[in-house]
Amino acid sequence: MAAEELVGVNRKERLRVEVDSMGLERMMNAKFETVSPSSTINDVLKKMRELDIHEMPVTADGRSLMGVVSYGTLLKRRNLSIEAKADTIMLMPQQVSLQTPVTEVAELFIKTGFREVPVLRDGVIAGMVSRSGLLRVVQEIKELQRIPIGEIMSPDVRTVKLDTSAKDAVQMMSTMEVRVLPVVDDLGRVIGIVGIKDIALMNWHERNRQTAGEFAGESDPVKVKVGSVAVEPAVTAPPTMNLGEAAGVMLERNISTLPVVENDKLLGIVTKYDLIELIASLRQRKMMYTQISGLREDDRFSQDMMIKEIETSMRKISPIVAPMMFNLHVGVYNDEGLNYKYSLHGRLTTDDRVFTASSVDWDLIRATAALMKTFERRVIEHKEEKLDHRRRTKNIGHSMD
């Protein structure tokens, strides 16, 4: 192993130890609310809205965890009656205890899409840990604080307008595996943010106007425009803002997303998810963590070939930067007739920076190969940019002698 690679590994291990040593007890909220398994979905949503949370623990005795109700699940099961009970829609999350490493919990958030999970002590709920709680890591560890948000932001940003339908907004979120989208005006300027929570609440609010116990009887999302949903005012950030400052803004303003803007131009977006992903990338593992999401059952047979394409590219990338985490989301949409087109969105976290790329193709394997070629090219371009910067800096130093 080269000396540069060894330095990278040592740096990652040092950061991991520092992060995990903080412990979950410092980050969790010991004061939390629960609902009973017999609570109606209507009552659960009211409580989630009041508390401004995305996951609500379900327990019969106020202590023993039976499962959680999530906004994401509610949108998938939107044909349920508003009088349906919580135990018909709850999910059981992966078990988290006070001894679970912080980096492992961060990875759990990435895998599940949850924003809060219960922390158990001797089988009962001791508290709730959230993405917001984990942001203390970014605020307190100086090496993470100083990273400019421009290095981890996602530059490929999908946006919506006020007249975009809520159905299309949900479809975009599903395709991109995100829960928040920037709202822009006709000139492309950011004017707001709309989230899956806003649409879920609108969906169930509309249905609450029906007769109690009546089913909606339709499988489409809310037939309203984004402008009719609660759109939060846009809080933006310059690309030079560092992660410590970004985490502070998110916590102070109680937001999960910061569009990165310079001279009224949308450059990218940074979210709590991005910060949590950075923490998760530090988790101790023998090899790079790879996650492929969004695959249809019909496409499962392609997964081995996709992984082969990914591994081939990583062997080319690893001598340049050390890969830590790779996330690939597959979106599928009907483009013409009965043919399905694949939209791939990848995110590679390395010991140096975060790279993102997208590809679209009728063939899933071909789309994966094109995506990985883009990553290879961007890693090489980044290396060349760094070398060019060093040469220019060195030449400036010589000219001053």
Q: CA 342 to CA 364: how far, in whole Å?
A: 6
Average the pLDDT over each of 126-130, 168-172, 176-180 and give the range with the smallest value: 176-180
Per DSSP (E only), the strands in 62-174 are 67-70, 116-121, 124-130
Q: CA 131 to CA 116: how far, in whole Å?
A: 7
Helix (H) or strand (E) segment spanning residue 182: strand 180-184
Give ∠ CA 364-368-370 in degrees, rounded to 5: 115
Residue ranges of domains in the chain, CATH in brackets? 288-401 (3.30.160.100)
Average the pLDDT over each of 70-79, 218-227, 300-309, 380-389 and give the range with the smallest value: 218-227
**Most confident by average pLDDT, 209-223, 252-266, 292-306:** 252-266
Beta-bridge mates of residue 117: 129
Contact 321, 386 (CB under 8 A): no
pLDDT above 70 (res 6): no
pLDDT above 90 (res 140): yes
Residue 218, CA distances (Å) to 163, 213, 223 in order: 22, 15, 11
| Residue written as token pair 């609440």 | 201
Q: CA 366 to CA 23: how far, in whole Å?
A: 43
Q: How many helices (H) and strands (E) does the chain have?
A: 12, 13
Contact 171, 331 (CB under 8 A): no
Query: Which one, of 111, 168, 47, 151, lies nearest residue 289 by Cα?
Result: 111
**pLDDT single digits (tens) 63-74:** 999 999 998 777
Helix residue ranges, H only, 21-160: 41-51, 71-76, 102-112, 131-140, 142-145
| Residue written as token pair 């988290």 | 96
Question: What per-residue confidence (pLDDT) applies to 336?
Answer: 54
DSSP state of 115: S
Q: CA 194 to CA 164: how far, in whole Å?
A: 11
pLDDT above 50 (res 219): no
Residue 107, CA distances (Å) to 71, 282, 351, 368, 374 in order: 20, 9, 17, 23, 25
Average the pLDDT over each of 183-187, 205-209, 218-222, 242-246 and give the range with the smallest value: 218-222
Query: Which one, of 61, 38, 271, lies nearest residue 153 by Cα?
Result: 271
The three-state secondary structure class of 218 is: coil
Cα-to-chain-centroid distance, residue 383:
27
| Residue written as token pair 């492309």 | 188
Contact 121, 98 (CB under 8 A): yes
Q: CA 177 to CA 173: how far, in whole Å?
A: 5
Question: What per-residue confidence (pLDDT) applies to 3?
Answer: 36
pLDDT above 90 (res 249): yes
**pLDDT single digits (tens) 144-165:** 999 999 888 887 788 899 888 8
pLDDT above 50 (res 281): yes
Per DSSP (E only), the strands in 217-353 are 232-233, 257-262, 265-271, 289-293, 323-336, 339-350
Q: CA 198 to CA 75: how far, in whole Å?
A: 11
pLDDT above 80 (res 297): no
Average pLDDT, the chain: 83
One-letter amino acid for residue 190 of the chain:
V
